[in-house]
Amino acid sequence: MGGGPTRGGKSQFERAAVLYLARRYPPGVVRLVLSDVKRVTFGCFDGLPHLIAPVAKDARATLKLLEYLVAEQELRYQEFERLGVEKAAQYNQMFPTAPMARIACLIDECFDLLSDPNHKDQIELMLMKLLAKAGAAGIHILLFTQRPDKDVIKPLIRSNCPAKVAFATSRPEDSGIILGDPDDNRAASLLGFGDMLYKSPLGVIRLQGLYLGDEKKDFEKYLEEAKNHAFDMTPWDSGLNFSHFNTSITSEISVRVLDKNKFDKQEEFRSNIAFDEATKSSIISLHQRGYEISEIVQELFSISRADGRRYKRIRDAVVQFIGLEEGDDI
């Protein structure tokens, strides 16, 4: 997690990180997921072969990417279970010629996403799922913001980011929020322009962020190098293609935001509820861990028996899905 105001060097640091990864590693070794709701940081990387999907430019597109990563995470853990390994590094030791690619997800301005009135709850849920165990699956989340608001970026999200990068902050309390220690106000004394503090479990060190420069021809040269990697291996493939990953038709988000009166009028919805891939993976995971149907519904959709007909419809859809997966009538 990283934070700092304008002219602190945050955007330069983010672009340098993407360019470094793309130049050093071919797409079969490192894949990229980028979110840029301000549309000024990552647009230059559109078309990079490392990208799993085009750069997300709003909350809805970012949510789709995060749902995809959650589903990918679950498929990777299923592969680990099948082979008896615990993490991507062990898998890649077993299959060095067909590695499981690392995925780096960089999100610029997570404050805007986590305060979006329509998607903040689902974005927060997906981030929580990823931050809890994505690292072992080879999926790495980097969150950046200009406004490290402790009421918007919840403590559980901040605490699950083991590494912190603090650029020059205008307020001492912002330094404490980013670095995870209310009494650590050192970032307020930084010089700006890439001067930063990097905090890891080993401690805090002061570093200077890279500056890419303003010469367009130099940047395009580096970008061209990143696009022309030679890679003769066939990496592990989960079979989950983002272009076919449909989260727009009756997903859990649309179920939750439907107006209750409209919901009650749509009798045909009873038999037509469809879940997106991330929700399916979550249902299967909770069911295998022994959750009751009512607990699954409450955990994933935040509704209970008190919601009456709405609860029953979603419950019936969950029961039907589990039955289809297991080949049984439940």
For 237, counting Cβ atoms within 10 Å of its Cβ (0-12 exposed, 13-18 middle, 19+ buried), the class is exposed
φ, ψ of residue 66 in degrees (nearest 5): -65, -40
Q: So what's the pLDDT on residue 264?
A: 42
The DSSP call for residue 87 is S
pLDDT of residue 69: 96
Identify whether the C-beta of residue 264 lies closer than 8 Å to the C-beta of residue 87: no
2-227 carries CATH number 3.40.50.300 = yes
* H or E stretch covering 71: helix 59-83
Looking at residue 327, what is its pLDDT?
57
- Rounded CA separation 58/39 (Å): 9
- Written as one string, the DSSP assignment of 229-244 is ----------S--GGG
Q: What is the largest CA-CA distance in the chain?
A: 65
- Residue 104 three-state SS: strand
Q: Where in the chain is the domain with CATH 3.40.50.300?
A: 2-227
pTM, rounded to two decimals: 0.75
Burial track 248-257 (b if 16+ CB lie within 10 A, e otherwise): eebbbbebee
Say which DSSP state 64 is in.
H
Which pLDDT does position 231 carry in this prediction?
80
- Euclidean distance between CA atoms 148 and 228, whole angstroms: 37
Q: What pLDDT is recorded for position 200?
A: 93
SS (H, E, C) 118-162: CCHHHHHHHHHHHHHHCHHHCEEEEEEECCCCCCCCCHHHHHCCC
102 sits in which H/E element: strand 102-108
pLDDT in single tens digits along all 330 residues of the chain:
999 988 899 999 999 999 999 999 999 999 999 999 999 999 999 989 999 999 999 999 999 999 999 999 999 999 999 999 999 999 999 999 899 999 999 999 999 999 999 999 999 999 999 999 999 999 999 999 998 998 899 888 998 999 999 999 989 999 999 999 989 999 999 999 999 999 999 999 999 998 887 677 888 888 998 988 878 788 999 988 888 775 443 344 334 333 433 434 333 333 457 787 778 877 887 787 778 888 888 878 877 777 777 888 888 888 888 876 665 544
* CA–CA distance, 9 with 40 (Å, rounded to integer): 14
Give the whole-angstrom CA distance, residue 319 versus residue 317: 5
| Dihedral pair phi/psi, residue 4, rounded to 5° | 165, 150
